[in-house]
Amino acid sequence: MRKASMDGFEDMVFGKPEVMEDRPTHFCPGCGHGITQRLIGEVLDELGLQERAVCVASIGCTVTAYAYFKIDGLESAHGRAPAVATAIKRCRPELVPFTLQGDGDLASIGTAEIVHAAARGEKITVIFANNATYGMTGGQLAPTTLIGMYSSSTTGGRTVEQAGYPIRMSEMLATLDGPSYITRVSLHNPANVRKARKAIELAFRAQLAGLGLSFVEVLSMCPINWKIEPVKARQWMAENMIPQFPLGEFKCIPEVEALKKGVKG
């Protein structure tokens, strides 16, 4: 883990995870997706899952997630990644499929698929990047856009009259009996990035233990569409998104609780 992948740098203490391709990402400056995907890469290395993990990409900025990992991967139609991952896991239980979905994909067009995959307790892992906007299409109103927040389709700010309220997916899914682990983490500072990594590792460990759907909601920056410069975007996220989307575990069944001691700090 975290060994140098480049020759000639024997003292290197930080490099790309083994499981990640040596290629630049297509993400915008200050975007959270690259961090989330790197954390997944670290966890796949840690758990030795390169030969078993399957990346189920979705539509949005995660559309090419499979391009960044040296693991099998496939695209899925908008919102349907949990259905695709369900089928892969049921057909090949030895594989470890995970979906990477944004808020438009998971919390809008794909609500049926995530709710039912969760209700059935599918043995898959879902990484949900919530950046309160439709990043790929240019920053339109998302199901998670905050009240008053600018979007390219609510240029005067989201109003309740026009667009109702943002959806808290983690809280909603936690009402179901199927999932084993549901948590919300944030990428706004290094301490929270480390917590996010632990949550992602625990989610994969839950799947490896044969437990029901594990779900990590990652609050993630989108400086370009928020029209806030990257450093300030982190602070903005902490101050504005976390009150609407509080961090913490919403579900952790005892079997998952027991797995926590295996997760390194």
Partner 1 sequence: MPERTLMGGNIAIAEGAILAGCGAYFGYPITPQNDLLEHMAKRMPEEDRIFLQTESELAAINMVYGAAAAGFRSMTSTSSPGFSLQQEGISYMAGSEIPAVIANIMRAGPGLGNIGGAQGDYMQCTRGGGHGDYYLITLAPSSVQDMLDYTMLAFELADKYRNPVLVMADGFLGQVVESVVIRDRVKKLPEKKWAITGAAGRPKNIINSFEMNPMDHPARIKLILQKFERMKRNEVRYEGLELEDADIVLVAYGSVARSAMTAMQKARLHKIKVGLLRPITVLPFPYQPLSDLAGRGCKFVVAEMSAGQMVEDVRIAVGNRNEIKLVNSWGGVPLTADEIFEAIDLLA
Among 1, 12, 112, 258, binds partner 1 (CB under 8 A): 112
Give the residue with the Cβ less far from partner 1, 26 or 232: 26
Closest approach, Cβ 179 to partner 1, in A, equals 16
Cβ closer to partner 1: 80 or 198? Answer: 80
Size of the site for partner 1 (CB under 8 A): 37
Taking the complex as a whole, how short is the minimal distance between the CB of residue 177 and partner 1, in angstroms?
A: 16
Kindly state the smallest distance separating residue 196's Cβ from partner 1, in Å.
Answer: 25
Interactions with partner 1, residue window 50-109 (CB under 8 A) = 50-54, 56-57, 63-64, 66-67, 69-77, 80, 83-88, 90-92, 94-95
Least distance in Å: CB of 56 to partner 1? 8
Beta-carbon contacts of 240 under 8 Å, excluding residues fewer than 6 positions away, are: 146, 149
For partner 1, give the closer residue by CB, 77 or 163: 77
Q: For partner 1, which is the closer residue by CB, 2 or 52?
A: 52
Interface with partner 1 (CB under 8 A): 26, 50-54, 56-57, 63-64, 66-67, 69-77, 80, 83-88, 90-92, 94-95, 112-113, 115-116
